Amino acid sequence: MTTAKTLRVGMVGYAFMGAAHSHAWRTAPRFFDLPLQPQLTAVAGRNADGVRAAADKLGWDSVETDWRRLIERDDIDLIDICTPGNTHAEIAIAALEAGKHVLCEKPLANSVEEAERMTLAAETAAKNGVFSMCGFSYRRTPALALAKRFVEQGRLGEIRHIRAQYLQDWLSDANAPMTWRLDKSKSGSGSLGDIGAHSIDAAQWVTGLNISGVSAMLETFVRERPLAGDLVGLGGHGDLSSDAPRGAVTVDDAAIFSAKFDGGTSAGAIGVFEATRYALGRKNAMRLEVNGTKGSLAFDFEEMNVLSFYDAAESPDAGFRRIFVTEPEHPYVGNWWPTGHGLGYEHGFTHQVVDLVTSIGEGRQPEPSFADALQVQRVLAAVESSAANSSQWQKV
């Protein structure tokens, strides 16, 4: 390992996403052969004690209290952005302009305008071999990657229906505390951008089709929530007294939209999407079903190691086949455990690092590019526009 070329990483932010990314940087080279060896060089955060403790815990060699300093350092090759969406554009553009590769958490930005600027910066940088990727990590779930493979192999035929749900319930309790995720100025949107964006990206990526128009409804069930002292973090697991001071929820709690898809031979495909944090009992039900003329696929992240596939050619004895996606032939799986030994949530981040480092090492643009993420951002904007306009159909 000592002679291999390295990829020195600087990460901004160290909460939920930071822990997941750190694990991925540490773990990817232990199970996969990478062209570059990642180094956990530095982590940045505004709170000096917090970032120091995080660095120790997560395995980073040094700390910074200003992300700008991270970008200035000569010993950093890649900036990994794990902060709320309102900071993405500034950090990513600065990093790219400084010649650092960028991995940016999703959604790419809080507006189409920001995303467009980021995409422009990314495309400019790419000409100089400086690459960027947006962290739609669910693409790296083996079962979803297998789903995409099936579509590409033509096993579904022409696609007609897509139904995507992302159901959580951590806001069901009206007294769960306010968090930055419910503050539009930080998060950009609520369920729509936080989890709905994953569904949009997965639906488009798996099918190879783009959403061309939507009709949408957004709903906010609980308009005020108790303020906790610390608004950073995931929230959702605390419960404050009902007389605590309250802050305004300025994002959607739930988003529902119908969609049409363009592209290839499945131009007539239609979809229905739902994202919510109020589906009591559904914890992380990121579900995708695709119905074609020859076959169908169904996936639920709550059973993340399973892909269900229906092959009409087996009729009349056809049925959804529950593929346990743990065979060595399946995407990513051969580098892990023997057949039948399932993976967990964080493996998606490890695979993301594998794909990113491999692309960089080979001088190729990684996927999803910022341009791919911009397309998702445009769908998000169209959803908000339709919802604000009596659900009227809105082109993307």
Interface with a second copy in residues 150-209 (CB under 8 A): 160-161, 163, 165, 168-170, 172, 174
223 binds a second copy (CB under 8 A): no
Interacting residues with a second copy between 331 and 350 (CB under 8 A): 336-347
329 binds a second copy (CB under 8 A): yes
Interacting residues with a second copy between 244 and 263 (CB under 8 A): 254, 256-258, 260
264 binds a second copy (CB under 8 A): no
User: Which stretch in 22-30, 63-71, 72-80, 88-96 sits in contact with a second copy by CB under 8 A?
Assistant: 22-30
The C-alpha atoms of residue 139 and residue 145 are separated, in whole angstroms, by 6
* Residues contacting a second copy: total by CB under 8 A: 98
Extract long-range pairs of 70-76: CB within 8 Å, 24+ residues apart.
70/10, 70/12, 70/42, 70/44, 71/10, 71/95, 71/98, 71/100, 72/98, 73/10, 73/41, 73/42, 75/8, 75/41, 75/42, 76/8, 76/9, 76/10, 76/41, 76/42, 76/100
Closest separation in Å from C-beta 201 to a second copy:
18
Phi, psi of 361, deg, nearest 5: -60, -30
Interacting residues with a second copy between 266 and 285 (CB under 8 A): 268, 270, 272, 274, 276, 278-285
User: 5 Cβ partners below 8 Å, 6+ apart?
Assistant: 35, 36, 37, 361
Interacting residues with a second copy between 111 and 150 (CB under 8 A): 146
In 3-state terms, what secondary structure has residue 269? Answer: coil
Looking at beta carbons only, is 168 or 199 nearer to a second copy?
Answer: 168
61 binds a second copy (CB under 8 A): no
Beta bridge partners of 225: 247
Looking at beta carbons only, is 23 or 73 nearer to a second copy?
Answer: 23
- Please name the helix (run of DSSP H) or strand (run of DSSP E) that holds residue 79, with its range, or none: strand 78-81
327 binds a second copy (CB under 8 A): yes
35 binds a second copy (CB under 8 A): no
Interacting residues with a second copy between 349 and 388 (CB under 8 A): 386
Which of 280, 300, 273 minimizes the C-alpha distance to 170? 280
315 binds a second copy (CB under 8 A): yes
Which of 120, 77, 119, 123 minimizes the C-alpha distance to 98? 77
User: Which stretch in 62-70, 78-86, 198-206, 213-221 sits in contact with a second copy by CB under 8 A?
Assistant: 213-221
User: Which stretch in 6-14, 98-106, 196-204, 214-222 sits in contact with a second copy by CB under 8 A?
Assistant: 214-222
Closest separation in Å from C-beta 44 to a second copy:
19
Residue type, 344: G
The C-alpha atoms of residue 146 and residue 138 are separated, in whole angstroms, by 12
* Residue 179 exposure: Cα atoms within 13 Å on the Cβ side: 22
- Decide if 82 contacts 105 (C-beta within 8 A): yes
Looking at beta carbons only, is 126 or 279 nearer to a second copy?
Answer: 279
CA angle 77, 81, 82 (to 5 degrees): 140
User: Which stretch in 5-13, 105-113, 200-208, 294-302 sits in contact with a second copy by CB under 8 A?
Assistant: 294-302
395 binds a second copy (CB under 8 A): no
User: 367 Cβ partners below 8 Å, 6+ apart?
Assistant: 133, 139, 355, 359
Phi, psi of 58, deg, nearest 5: -90, -10
Looking at beta carbons only, is 48 or 318 nearer to a second copy?
Answer: 318
Looking at beta carbons only, is 247 or 342 nearer to a second copy?
Answer: 342
Of 111, 221, 250, 263, the residue at the interface with a second copy (CB under 8 A) is 221
265 binds a second copy (CB under 8 A): no
In 3-state terms, what secondary structure has residue 163? Answer: strand
